[in-house]
Structure 1
């Protein structure tokens, strides 16, 4: 019996055919993207690979919009993409649009497993197809922190990215390695620098994030758009013990070497506190709104409320709760 399979059967829709390397899109500069024109009961994408949003009796995506009407952009990686949602109706963008009284649609502008650089480059590649943008919300921060643990050889000057080993293998015509090999320990080569300490990882991650925010700010100011950076929550940061369903799922994931086991120090409250402090100090004064979403969700979450399908991605109810809380925070911040 599997808690993951029994409680979150929709997760099968995010692997298999959808993540088959032969179906992935390969974009210049970004490396990879979602399959195009993919359609299932769980997830569907447009001709460019963007996930569809379903809300207000409409179905739309980043490249299928009426360009006469202004929109609000939700940027991020797999959490924003909606991994864990049982259908396109239950992604954050869908729930934001459904719960927002303002006329603008929220656009799912996310890439699974993206880092901050890929999030920015995706916007640069497709901004010519977008309508006027009234607001940009970047809901991100975890992937960059996880990737900071890669050895220097894979981080390079501009930060690491997921599938990096697959990318280098393809360049040399090697067989694609398994996902688990991304962070597998390998013999240290001559001249290779050890992975960073946790303190160094936080500083390194923050530095990359601030560099990208500088660029986002230039775009936002040119478009007259409001820009907010939201540090996404991690289940362990939100509460020490989740719902009965979450506990069952996390126990099973931990037996397979999940994020909790591999990156236990990232899951700690001390890491969250240090990360927020570093981000807050760096973003302060840039003219970018910053929101740490963990305390917002922690305050609102009920003890028996099932919010996460794993430690990063939300259930359908979790997406709805987060969307309503985020809208409230954004509205209050705008009025203050």
Structure 2
């Protein structure tokens, strides 16, 4: 019998999550990858295809002149998209905010410290940047399950140690993830101000924060993944709509104190999607439609053109 994942998302076999060990970052995508669903430049950044056969990457081709940056982790990289053209950055450049090229500055499984470090290490290769949209927040909360000994001074990262038998309560997890996210956002603010770029923080969508009940197809996919992972056991307490809204309130308050515009994409996506729209391949990564709706909401709500 064909599994739901094989039946509905056969392209996911090409997202293998095999990452290259990298100094400072810990791990990153391999450079020069070409699979049926994704392409990376010489450094490992995903290619953003644009109008008329143009391409935009950090390390290789891009049109001359200024650009915009979409930064984050695996959702920004576009895990779940059926091709480079279906990523958020590509949908922005080709449809919803096409005035400037969009650079995909994302590392799979990165926390907020790694996201900031990635941008810092490669800022010397960037053109003039008008906008930086940081779509993030989930990985810090996921990693908040790990004990203090694995958190270090700047937050835990994936594969930094064995999974615990017990996790902290939701309020402690929220406080820890919020503090780390805002701490590193201060660094983004310094960089953005120095570059003369507008910075916006967007809380990325998580399926149970968008709508409380998944579609039947989504539930089949989630249930299959839960059979081989510990997501439900470790994260059932944070994977609820009230926790998502509480996290958004805390981040919004911190962003206001930093004078950084904030958008909760969970609310925006929930309002934009029709009840029958299939949005998620797993709880963190979207379908092509989901990513397109995210791009549309970014353009509309952040006044991008």
Question: In structure 2, which of residues 244, 253, 267 is the aligned counterpart of residue 272 of structure 1?
Answer: 244
Q: Is the 8 A contact 2:72 2:136 kept in 1?
A: yes
Q: Is the 8 A contact 2:55 2:62 kept in 1?
A: no
- The equivalent of 1:209 in structure 2 is 181
| Matches of 1:260 and 1:294, distance apart in 2 | 20
| Matches of 2:65 and 2:163, distance apart in 1 | 44
| Matches of 2:272 and 2:64, distance apart in 1 | 37
Q: Which sections of structure 1, spanning at least 5 residues, go unmatched? A: 166-181, 186-193
Question: In structure 2, which of residues 81, 84, 88 is the aligned counterpart of residue 85 of structure 1?
Answer: 81
Question: In structure 2, which of residues 124, 130, 135 is the aligned counterpart of residue 134 of structure 1?
Answer: 130
Question: In structure 2, which of residues 6, 21, 24 is the aligned counterpart of residue 26 of structure 1?
Answer: 21
Query: What TM-score does the superposition give when structure 2 sets the normalisation length?
Result: 0.94
Q: Is the 8 A contact 1:242 1:304 kept in 2?
A: no
SS of the equivalent of 2:189 reads helix
1:263 and 2:235 are equivalent in the alignment? yes
Q: Is the 8 A contact 2:212 2:241 kept in 1?
A: no
Question: C-alpha offsets along residues 148-185 of structure 1, whole Å, 9 cap, x if unaligned?
Answer: 111111111110001223xxxxxxxxxxxxxxxx4253
- The equivalent of 1:35 in structure 2 is 30
How far residue 262 of structure 1 moved from its aligned partner, in angstroms, is 2.8
| Matches of 1:140 and 1:14, distance apart in 2 | 20
Where do residues 1-336 of structure 1 align in structure 2 (5 Å cutoff)?
Answer: 1-15=2-16, 19-20=17-18, 24-56=19-51, 57-66=53-62, 68-165=64-161, 182-185=162-165, 195-331=167-303
| Matches of 1:135 and 1:266, distance apart in 2 | 31
Query: What TM-score does the superposition give when structure 1 sets the normalisation length?
Result: 0.86
- Root mean square deviation of aligned Cα: 1.8
In structure 2, relative to structure 1, the CA distance for the partners of 1:102 and 1:316 (3 Å cut) is closer
In structure 2, relative to structure 1, the CA distance for the partners of 1:27 and 1:255 (3 Å cut) is closer
In structure 2, relative to structure 1, the CA distance for the partners of 1:102 and 1:90 (3 Å cut) is closer
Deviates more, 1:216-225 or 1:111-120: 216-225
| Matches of 1:71 and 1:135, distance apart in 2 | 8
Question: C-alpha offsets along residues 55-95 of structure 1, whole Å, 9 cap, x if unaligned?
Answer: 21222311124474101100000000000011111111111
| Matches of 1:13 and 1:206, distance apart in 2 | 33
For these two proteins, the number of residue pairs brought into alignment is 303
